[in-house]
Every structure is written in C-alpha cells, then in structure tokens.
Structure 1
Amino acid sequence: METRNEELETASIELYRYMCNVLVGSEKIVRYRRLFFKLFDETWNTQHGFELISSGSKSEGLDLHGSDFDVMTLHKCFKVYENIESSGFAVNIETNNAQPGFALLKVPESFGKFCPLLFTKTDNGYLLSSRKMKDLLMVKPRLYNGAFSIHGPSVCHNEVDLDRVYSLQCNTWPFVAKNWLLRNRSSEWPPQELIDNITEQGVLLVPVGSKSSSNDVNELEWRMSFSLSEKVLIHSFNHVQIICYALLKIYLKEIVNSKNILSKLLCSYYMKTLLFWILEETDGSKWTSENLIHCFLVCVKRLLYLISCNYFPNYFIPAHNMIDGKLSNEARNELIRMLNGVLSDKGWENIFYANSLDGFRARLSFNQLNGYNVFDKAIFPLYMTLEVKYFDFEHKCKHVIHRIVSSLPKSVKNICALQFLCFNYSSLSNIKFCNGDHKCRRAKQSHNKCTYITYRLILAKLIINTYSDAASGWLLLAAFFYNHREHFKMFPLLDLVTAQLSIDRLYLSLHLKTNFIHTLSRKRLSAKCSFLKRLRQEVIKDVPYNIDTKNTFLAHENLGNSIVHVFLPCNPVVILHYFSFLVHYELGDNFQADRQLRMLQNTVQNTVSGNPHLYVNANCYLMRALIVSNDLAEFRLTCLRVARMMKQSDEYKTFLEDVSSGNNKIALLARMTQNFDG
C-alpha cells in the first residue's frame, strides 16, 4: 500500500479513535465479547446429540447497531463423509451434480426407504432433502412459539434478532476447497498454523440449495458453510482490521442499502469475504491506525472491480460466484457509480454520512457508556442475548455453578453469574402449584404444606432474580405478591423501583438498541464493587419476557393478556405505573388509582412509540387497566390507536403475517385489536 497524504492520515487516526471509543470498543472490549459467546457455547455443549455454535457479528466481537446474533445448531445424528464407503448408516457428500459451493447428501437405499419425510428418491439414489429437513425442524419452534419463519437456511425468530441455522458437519476438508490450502499468499496470511487449525474443523452443511435462473431453489442441495473457519480467521484480525471490517459493514448497511435499487442486494457476508481476499494479498504491517481510511479505500476499489466483472468469488471456493444473477444491469451500474464516487478525490468523506458516524462528523468525542469500566461496557449490552426464551438453560445450572466456585478468572465467573441468573429466571416459568395433584412429587404431604413449599421455592428464586437488574426483578416480585393478594408487601417494592428509575441507567431491551438513559447525572460505581452489585445498580431492562400467566406463579387475569395468557415484555416504567394502579384499585384508593392510570397513559403515549412491539405491549397493559377501571370509552380509543399503528407499521404487518399461521392465540389477539379499526 502506498503512503497517503497527511490529511488522510489525520482523519484516519481520528476515525480510529472514535470507532474505538464509541462504536466498536477497544481491543479489550472485543476480547470480552468473544469470551462471552465462547462461554455461551461451552455452557450449551455439555450434552450429546447436538452442538450449539454462536455466530454472527456479535460473536465475532462487534456490537454495532443492528448487529445480528445467529446460532448454528450442529446435529450429530448424521455422520457425513466425502468419498468414503462406510458400512452402516452414513451420509456421503457428492459435488459433481451440484452447483459450486453446494453439495448433494446421499444415503444408503435401506435408510432412504425408511424415512420418506426426509429423503427423496432420485436417479442418483436417495438424497437427504434440505427442504424436507427445514420443514421438519420448524415443527418444534411452531409448537413452542409461533413467531418463527424460514429465511434461507435459517429458522428466524420474528420478535427479536435471532436466526437459528441447523447444520450437519463433515469432519474432513472438502475436495472442492483443496486449492484454498495450497494457493500462494503474498502476505503469508493466514499462517500455516491457522490453516491447520481450520482444516481440522472440516465444513458445515446448511439446508439451502442454489437458485436457478427462474429463482427457484434446488430443494435437494445443501450449501457448504465455512462459518467455523471464518470465525477463526476473524479472531486472528488485529484491531485496525476489525475497525475496517466494521466500517465496511456500516458503509454497506447505512449508505449502499439506503438506495432503494440497491437495498439488500449485497449482504455483510460479502464484506467479510472481501476483507479475507484483501488480507491475503497485502502486507500486514500496513494495517495501522493512520492507514485506516486508505485500507478501507483499498477494499472499496476491490469491490468495484468485482462488481464490474459481475463475479464475486467465495473465499474458500472461488468457482462459486456469490452474486450470480443477483444484480440487474441497472443496480450494478448504480453501485459502480456509487463506488467510483467514494474513490474520487475527497470521495472517501462519503462514509462519514452514515448515521452511526453522526458524532464523528460533529467531532464529538463522547462515549455512550461513559463512566463504565471496560468489562461492563462489553458485557452489559450482551446481557439480553441470554434472555431469549428460545433457549432453555435450566438443565445447565450445575455446570455454571461449578464454574462460579472454581478457580477461574474473575471475568469468566462474572459471565457465568449472568448465565446463572438467566437459568434461575427461566426456571420460574416451570414451577407450578400442585393444586392437589396426586402425581406431584410431594404427594405424601398435605396440600397446604405442598403449596407452602412451592410458595417458598418461588419466592427464593424471585429474590435471587432481584439481582438481575435495578428494576425488573423487584417488579416481578411485586407481581407475585399481587397474585397472592399480599398487596401491602408491594408498596416498599414499588417505592424502591420508583427511586431506581429516577437515576440514569443503561437500558437493555430485546427490541431496542442499548440506550443510556440521561436523567440525573451521578458517579458510576467503582470497578472494585462486585459485578452483581454493579449489575443491580447500573442496568434496567424490559420486564419480563413472555412468562405464562395461566399455569404458573402469576396466574391472575390482570397480570397478563387475557387472550394469550403471557406477561408481555415492556419498559419497567410502564409496568411500575400499571402495578401501582392495580394495588391502589384493589385497596379502594380511587384517587391514587386514577392518578396512576393517568401516569400510565402518559407513559405509554410518550416513551415507547419508537418500537411497534413495545408500543403494542404497553398498550395491552393500558387496555387492561382501562377494563379494570371500567373506562370503556378510553379503552375503545386506545384500541383504535393501536390498530392504526399496526396497519401503518410494515414491521408489525410482517410479524402478524408470520405468526398468524403458527400461533392461533397471537393471531386472535391481532384480529381482535384490528377489528376496532372501524
């Protein structure tokens, strides 16, 4: 790489510092993020049958706005080989009759006949169908929660940014990718040690086929996925390379995709592939902070060349053109024009018009998480990843406790403490009062004693749950007391939450990007304080996440939606005012009940309108309060407002379409609400 002028170097250093302080984080923060997901994987992978592998930008160490969290579930029930004749049940990879980058999975005839739900008979024998496999894998998620759909090889959760990719593994390196092991690399990257490590992991196969000219997907093919290899390669990047990778992703998402004609034609995987090719060919010593923008421009120049040639080779299998048939002439010409503009004189300043770089354009050197120590900056925003109810962690509890009490680094113990809190929370929804059931394991005891023991067990878990953040644990405990008509026990808890919410916090939500709430400035807790104390004092989060209110410890009609019987996730301020209204209403204090109802209305209208899911959930609590207070006129107006929002929101329309076929309860709620739009 040739040396750039002084202006470019100065801008590069400033941009590098901004990215480290505001968007990406320091090298240490990136390492802590990777440790978080490494422990996430290890906690899961303590049983046979499958292996869970975190992937996506977050597991790579990036936590940008919109960064995804993908989970690859590796099924070990199928043993996959290439060109190996094996007696017994085995799956054999065949690539001769498949498109580059894809494979057919052939099985013995005896097994193919045994299960027509998975295997398809062809002239080439019995093949494991990628389409049939995805259809089968969708059965359990639809039974568990209807908010799932299939996109490519992924089973996607439509309420949160979570894609789950089911895969098989071939433990040998595929023949079609042999050249990757042998090709000449002028930069000597990746080093031979890294190559040896990668080849030992083999390749994954995910259930999606190639597309024909008619845009039909080949339902028999499986795509070769090098996710494990790519993760190893990215973890070998130096910090400037990580920053450059983040810049490429920001440029693609916030500038290129902002053009309607180019929207979603290219994906971030192409940026990752592009960077791999560049690193193979450039001297690693050139990747320094003063060369950041120049390195970015080198990547843009290569992207321009590939788009002009209409050929974007896969990094491991160059014969696989990843953009084959994806770009129209009009779209390609527009992209070429845009990339040429970046490469023109001063054109590199275009990247600064990305929304993520607003602060840099204004030359503001602030930090959204100012005052928090490095570990907390990295881990707190990832906390909600563990809250996704799709994961059942309860049976991993002993494994995590063992790590907490072992002689491990404090960072490992702290992350495991987060896991334990999530296990404890998850287990709450599985505890039920026996109600005289003779099948209960305490059947020999009296019904009253059994109920008392269960009460104490739930109460203990709820008290542990108060360590999860500054508000949601206390509010869930208040809900428990409300369900048991112990109303006076709610008041000190609600007062405590009111005080907690009056101070600035780090706000975590499954539906919103991490926000730093500015109200009253205060000094952050010292890093010398325990991690759990910092968590309990510095963080607030949505309350809670889809707890069943029909058969569990919150079995009260006022604590969940009467249609779907769940306690919907929502901002803690909304729940605080809702509970305050309920308890004053139950005690006959109509003045305070009316006051809290007005505060609830103001909160719902002013604080959660930015996200359709949280907006609808908050209005569900408001509608329940209006029903309790018998204010039917305001109830109808609220329903009309929610129905209009749902019809105007493209995101919510898609959500309703996705869930309507798989979850009758949610579909019923949607139709009920929309029927008010007269």
Structure 2
Amino acid sequence: MDSSMAKQKMAVRSISESVYVGMCLKIGTPQQVASRRDTGDIAEMLKNNDVMKNPYTAMMSGSAREGFRLHGTDRDTMYWQNNHRVIWDFSQVQFYNEQENAVILCDSSESPPGFTLLWLPIERANSFVKSAGVRLYGGFYISSSKYREVMLSIVSHKCSCTIHGPCSTGLFYGVVEYDDAHCFVSDFWPPSASSWIGRCQLWPPPHVVNDIVRNGCHFVAIGHKLGNHTNNEWRVSFSQAEYKLVCSMNHTQFLTYGLLKLFLKEIINKGLREEDKLLCSYHMKTTVFWAIQQNTQTHWHPQNILGGFWVCFKLLLKWVYEGVCPNFFIPENNMFLSNIYGEAQKTLFTRLYRLYKTGITLLLHSPSFSFYITNVLCNPRLTICTDEHNLISEVELDKDIFSEIDTNDAIGALDLHKCELYLHTVGQLIGLPLTQYHIVMLQKLTTTIFQRCAFILHNMYSYTGSNKQLYIVDKLSCYMLKLTAKFGYVSDVLYIAMYYYKTFRYREALSVIDFTKVKLARPYLMYKSHVDREMYTEAVGGQSLSTKIREAVAHNISLYNKIFYINELMQEQQSSEQNSWPKLCIPPLILLHMLDFLCSRHVDTIRAQRSLDDLQVLVHHDQGQLVPETFRDISWEILGICQQISGNLQGALYSYQQSLRQYPFNRIQTATIQRIQELHL
C-alpha cells in the first residue's frame, strides 16, 4: 500500500513538473516575465516623472502589465488628471494647495462596499469634469456615466472606440484590443480597506504592504448594478496594488494564476455565449490572492503547482456554492452579488462541481495542458527538468526582450523642450538601482530621444537661422545621431544616412550606407523573428543586452509624422497623420535601398540603377523575413516612389496599386491615391 501511494505521489509530482514546464513555455519563464515588467516600468517612469509636468498620468494595468502575453491579452491603461485628487475626509485637504488642485471628497454613505459618490466641494475642476457633473442632495457630484461619455467624445475623433464597462475600448494597431479607463486618484488608502493591512501577516511582506498603502487607490467610472446611484457611483480600484501583489508572487504562484486564467478560458467558459460567461479573469486573480494569503498551501514550487491550482479551484467552488466572492481588499464587497445568484448560480455550480468530480484529469480538456499531462502518463519514467535557465534558449529570450523594448519605445517628445525634460529624467533614472532590462530599455529610449532632437533641431533652423546657427545646429544634430548609432540598434545608423541626404551630403550618406550594408548583411543579425540561432549564439551569446543591440539586432525605422525627415516621404507622413497614425514604420533594408538610390542619383547613376534593382527584388520576392507582411504597404509605396523618380511610370503605377492591396498598417492610402493621380498615364 505504501509503495502504491509513493508511486502515486511520484506520478502527481511528475505531472506537476511537466505542467510547470508547459506553463513556462506558454506564459513565460521568470526571466521573460521580469523583462516584460522591467521594460514597462522604465517607460512609465520616464513618461510620468514629475519633471515632465504632464497634466495627466498614464499607467498600464491588467494582464499585459502583470507580465502575461497570452493570445487575446488586451492592453489596459488607466489615465488620471494630476491636478484632481480624491480625499476620504476633510482633514486631508491640508495636504493640497487648493489653488492648484481640485479636491474631490468621497461620499460612501449610500453606496455598497467598494463604491462611492465623488463630491466636488468647490467647483474648481476643469471643463471636462464639470460637464460630467450632476446635482445631488444640493451638492455637485461627478457622474460616472457622464464622465465616460465625455472622455469617449474626446478620444473618439482620434480613433474608433466604444464604451465597455468603465473603459473606452478599441483596437490598437488594428489588431490588439485596448481598454482605456479615465479615472481619479487618491493618495490615501481607503478606510473601508483598513482591515486588509491587519490581515497581511504572512503575505505580502511588510515592505510591499507599506508601498501599497502609501500609494493609495483609484476610482473608475462605473457604479454598482444594485446600488442606489448606479449611473453616478464610482468603483474603488486597486489595480496598482494588485500589480504589486502579482510582482510579489513567486513564479509558481504566478503560473498558477496563469493556469487558472487558461482553465477559465479553455474549459469553464468554452462554448458559452458572452452573456453566459459569469466568471472572469478578475475572479481567478482574487482566488489566487486569497489562497496565498490564507496559507492554504504552505509551499508553492514546481512540484506542486497542481496542488496550488486545486486549492484555488476548491475555493472558487465554495464561493460559487455560497454565492459570495469577497473582494481581496474590501471583503464586504461581494463580487458575485449582481450576477451569480438564483438559477445562474445553480447552473454554474453544477458545471464546476462536475469538473471537480473529474479530478485533476479535467485539465486534459485544455489544449494548453493536455500534452504535458499525457506526456507523463505515457512515459512514467520521464525526468522533467524545471530549471528555467534551460527551458528556453538565449535566442528566444532575446527575441522576447527586444520585442518588449520595441513595444515600450514610445515617448511623446515632439518638441525640443519635451526632449530636454526627457533627457533630464533619464539622468535621474540612471542613478537608481537598475536591472539589465531597465538599463537596455533606458538605452533605447535615450537613442529615440536623440534621434528626434536631431531632426527637430534641423527643421527649426533650416530656414530661419543664421549661417553660424545652422553650423552649430548641424554639428549638434550629427553628434546626437552618431551617439544613437553607438548605443542603438544596428539599423539606427540609417538615421545618419537620412540626415546626410536631407542636408545634401550624398557622398557621406553613401559612405554610411555602405557601412550599414555590411552590418545588416551579418549572418547572425536578428530582425524580429528572423535570425540564424547558431550563428547569433556563436557571435554574441552570453554578452550583455546592450552589446547585442549594438552589434546584432536590427529594427524598423520609425518616422514620426510630426517631424519632417525627407521630402520623398512627406506625402506618406501627411496621409498617415491625417488618419490619426503617429508614425511610419519602415523595414531597415527597404529604407537602406531607397536612400542608396536617392543619393546615388546625384553621384553615380549606375549604382542608382543597381540599388533600385535590389529594392525591386526585395519587395517582389521576400517571403516575410526582411519585409514583414505588416509593412508591405510602405515597402511597395517606396518602390513606387523610386520607380517614379527614375522615370519608370508603369512600374510605379503597379507598385502603388500593390501598396493599396496590402494591409493598411501605415495608413498611407491617401498619399498612394494622390501619387497614382499624379502619374498622368
């Protein structure tokens, strides 16, 4: 009997280890998750630093911010105005200058736990907030439903979006769904959540608790469905606190949370209509929080990830049976109250209990887990390695990191003053204790700032400055672009070539282009997912991320539409901007051949024809490796522009027509149609 029990335990342990490995491959290893969080941290610290004096703060929240990159994960962002602050009682007014801040008072007297009305004692708010006001009990209150509509009207002219819960929702880059929540912030911890502090004996650790409490909470624009003031109430949001809690989890706990999210999507909600999906990801997160804090499972490690999952599932089952899901911070807030009761509750419980009786084999119904379970069941002597350093290759990890850097390489510096403030902030951040992911993200953001500075400066003084001013500006711009070439991607050297072309230094530009051609032709170069793994590892394996970026990684060239780069792409930038798009994204080899052609026309016509031929071959025959499908609209467009300049009008017409047939990622269709009309064929 003992031998049988031991074998059973060994089998369960092996299955757990196999599922842990599967979750690492599906959700991310500790290094991958850390890189996702750290790059996001630096981008936010740069944008939201006090030095920037931004009127609002933007904070990513939700699954993407926590480190998940599951298919369908949307991008949640919270925005709040910095000169509006919410207080819980009048004594807290003393901490604010009322000439500079609109102070808003919570009135929770008639609201369910976790919800409140927001009262503006003095109507000092800006016009947007005032337009969302309603009169209640003789006072001026901010209506959540009106505020959602006001904020939607502000952003809807820039993009097509709709209201979803407390958020404006739409598609980012036409593919990724986003939810933007325009909210208010309080620097103070809610009195209704004070019991949470006393509950934190074992988890989270004291420094995390103090950090959470010190940073207060937010208020999102949605009321309780069963409250007395549904259209005017605001929900207390602990998104910032939840992010800190998720970061304080060990990796097994984080993967258990991910496992529950997949369990919900692939098993519980599979085949259900949207209106029948009563449980959501937030319920899963709450389950994990309570399970960890209640210490139901004392050890969370790869060998018992299934044990942790089962503890959470049983807790969820109990909540559905009782019809009570206590909010982690305000337990009196029953998150099942408005939708999981009566017949719906019974149906859900029956569904979950049927799964519960199946035992852990219920995970065999999930495409994410079934392979890892059956693999062990079919190979009982299989040895599972859970060392995260051996789970994915260095190349795959680097690809993931550089993808994150690209996603977070977005700043709003479109004038010199903003650029100066960003550089000042970079100087402050350098003094902080930084991880390798922080450092490389900061490195890339700095090169982006310098690139913008160089072209903004030149545009400012090209037509208005004296010769001496122009000389100084030119030296400074060249110096900044050379710095970006030292610290940025291999492809960032093309900004120098573009600048030389813009300033009529064609031979110097061609010298830079020749140098860049050699670097971009390196057999170990990584461009998006295109890389020779063995050669990359041999060339830069084990080196720092900063070195890899400089020596072995190429990326798209971004031309921001509010900054003028070269004449030949002005129409495309104008079209893109008119269609509410921030920039053109161009594959590096496409821009290299274009610049080679444009410069060679002035000094070597044979070379110009050769570069045009190379461009044509690349656009016509690349299989998505060097010209990703997403950027084929601009690639065909650039080929057409070069053909038109060379006098090949029929070829240009064909290229422009092909550009119109591609996915309109860069939103340049208006320019393409104009160019076709200008051909006069």
TM-score interval, normalised by the smaller of the two chains: 0.7 to 0.9
The answer to which structure has the higher helix fraction is 2
Matching of residue 541 in structure 1 with residue 555 in structure 2 = yes
Aligned to 2:251: 239
Secondary structure of the 2:185 match is strand
Structure 2 distance, partners of 1:601, 1:300, is: 52
Aligned to 1:600: 618
Farther-moved stretch of structure 1 (384-393 vs 109-118): 109-118
**Aligned-partner residue type, residue 253 of structure 2:** Q
Farther-moved stretch of structure 1 (358-367 vs 82-91): 358-367
Aligned to 1:279: 292
Root-mean-square deviation (Å) = 5.0
Secondary structure of the 1:353 match is coil
User: Of the candidates 77, 82, 87, which is equivalent to residue 83 of structure 2?
Assistant: 77
Offset, 1:396? 2.6
CA spacing shift, 1:46–1:553, aligned 2, 3 Å: same
Conserved in 2, the CA contact under 8 Å of 1:15 and 1:360? no
Secondary structure of the 1:315 match is coil
Aligned to 2:394: 371
Conserved in 1, the CA contact under 8 Å of 2:395 and 2:533? no
With normalisation by structure 1, the TM-score equals 0.75
User: Of the candidates 490, 505, 514, which is equivalent to residue 486 of structure 1?
Assistant: 505
Offset, 1:490? 3.6
User: Of the candidates 20, 23, 37, which is equivalent to residue 16 of structure 1?
Assistant: 20
Aligned to 2:468: 449
Offset, 1:674? 13
**Aligned-partner residue type, residue 588 of structure 1:** T
Secondary structure of the 1:481 match is helix
Conserved in 2, the CA contact under 8 Å of 1:22 and 1:367? no
User: Of the candidates 242, 245, 248, which is equivalent to residue 260 of structure 2?
Assistant: 248
Matching of residue 476 in structure 1 with residue 527 in structure 2 = no
Farther-moved stretch of structure 1 (317-326 vs 169-178): 317-326
Matching of residue 289 in structure 1 with residue 306 in structure 2 = no
Farther-moved stretch of structure 1 (552-561 vs 5-14): 552-561
**Aligned-partner residue type, residue 494 of structure 2:** L
Conserved in 2, the CA contact under 8 Å of 1:300 and 1:339? no
CA spacing shift, 1:150–1:358, aligned 2, 3 Å: farther
Aligned to 1:316: 329
User: Of the candidates 181, 184, 202, which is equivalent to residue 168 of structure 1?
Assistant: 184
Matching of residue 90 in structure 1 with residue 87 in structure 2 = no
CA spacing shift, 1:6–1:359, aligned 2, 3 Å: closer
Structure 2 distance, partners of 1:263, 1:620, is: 44
Conserved in 1, the CA contact under 8 Å of 2:219 and 2:236? yes
Aligned to 1:661: none
Aligned to 2:29: 25
Aligned to 2:409: 387
Matching of residue 424 in structure 1 with residue 450 in structure 2 = yes
1:546-585 alignment, distance < 5 Å = 546-548=560-562, 552-557=564-569, 560-561=572-573, 563-564=575-576, 568-583=584-599
Conserved in 2, the CA contact under 8 Å of 1:109 and 1:125? no
Task: Give deviations 1:209-267, integer Å, cap 9, x for gaps.
Answer: 45589xxx955332211012212322221221012123333444566677473599565
Farther-moved stretch of structure 1 (590-599 vs 525-534): 525-534
Aligned to 2:362: 347
Aligned to 2:239: 227
Secondary structure of the 1:79 match is strand
CA spacing shift, 1:592–1:459, aligned 2, 3 Å: same
Matching of residue 399 in structure 1 with residue 419 in structure 2 = no
Gaps of 5+ in 2: none
Structure 2 distance, partners of 1:598, 1:332, is: 64
Gaps of 5+ in 1: 509-514, 647-651, 657-664
Structure 1 distance, partners of 2:49, 2:207, is: 26
Conserved in 2, the CA contact under 8 Å of 1:469 and 1:537? no
Task: Give deviations 1:55-89, integer Å, cap 9, x for gaps.
Answer: 34454345556656655444331232224376966
CA spacing shift, 1:278–1:617, aligned 2, 3 Å: farther
**Aligned-partner residue type, residue 455 of structure 1:** D
Matching of residue 588 in structure 1 with residue 605 in structure 2 = yes
Secondary structure of the 2:554 match is strand
**Aligned-partner residue type, residue 621 of structure 1:** I
Task: Give deviations 1:547-573, integer Å, cap 9, x for gaps.
Answer: 445xx3434447844634686113323
Task: Give deviations 1:116-141, integer Å, cap 9, x for gaps.
Answer: 43433234521123455556667886
Secondary structure of the 2:456 match is coil
Structure 2 distance, partners of 1:94, 1:601, is: 62
**Aligned-partner residue type, residue 493 of structure 2:** W
Structure 2 distance, partners of 1:467, 1:328, is: 65
Offset, 1:10? 0.5
CA spacing shift, 1:403–1:640, aligned 2, 3 Å: closer
Matching of residue 462 in structure 1 with residue 451 in structure 2 = no
Structure 2 distance, partners of 1:420, 1:329, is: 57
Aligned to 2:50: 46
Structure 2 distance, partners of 1:470, 1:61, is: 24
Conserved in 1, the CA contact under 8 Å of 2:510 and 2:600? no
Secondary structure of the 1:78 match is strand
Aligned to 1:614: 631
Structure 2 distance, partners of 1:391, 1:360, is: 52
Offset, 1:464? 1.8
Offset, 1:399? 3.3
Secondary structure of the 1:75 match is strand
Offset, 1:498? 3.7
Offset, 1:410? 7.0
CA spacing shift, 1:13–1:474, aligned 2, 3 Å: same
Conserved in 1, the CA contact under 8 Å of 2:16 and 2:305? yes
Aligned to 2:118: 105
Conserved in 2, the CA contact under 8 Å of 1:256 and 1:263? no
Structure 2 distance, partners of 1:422, 1:517, is: 24
Structure 1 distance, partners of 2:365, 2:532, is: 31
Conserved in 2, the CA contact under 8 Å of 1:112 and 1:126? no
Offset, 1:306? 4.9
CA spacing shift, 1:391–1:484, aligned 2, 3 Å: closer
**Aligned-partner residue type, residue 605 of structure 2:** G
Task: Give deviations 1:551-603, integer Å, cap 9, x for gaps.
Answer: x3434447844634686113323333444454456653364255224223225
Offset, 1:292? 0.9
Secondary structure of the 2:393 match is coil
Secondary structure of the 1:237 match is coil
Conserved in 2, the CA contact under 8 Å of 1:604 and 1:615? no
Offset, 1:459? 1.9
Offset, 1:147? 7.5
CA spacing shift, 1:476–1:492, aligned 2, 3 Å: same
**Aligned-partner residue type, residue 83 of structure 2:** C
Conserved in 2, the CA contact under 8 Å of 1:386 and 1:422? no
| Identity in percent | 21
Aligned to 2:219: 205
Conserved in 1, the CA contact under 8 Å of 2:561 and 2:574? no
Offset, 1:272? 1.7
The count of corresponding residues between Structure 1 and Structure 2 is 635
Conserved in 1, the CA contact under 8 Å of 2:500 and 2:506? yes
Secondary structure of the 2:219 match is strand
With normalisation by structure 2, the TM-score equals 0.75
Conserved in 2, the CA contact under 8 Å of 1:470 and 1:497? no
Offset, 1:542? 1.9
Secondary structure of the 2:535 match is coil
Secondary structure of the 2:557 match is coil
Structure 2 distance, partners of 1:435, 1:171, is: 44
Task: Give deviations 1:485-506, integer Å, cap 9, x for gaps.
Answer: 4333344433444444443444
**Aligned-partner residue type, residue 9 of structure 1:** R
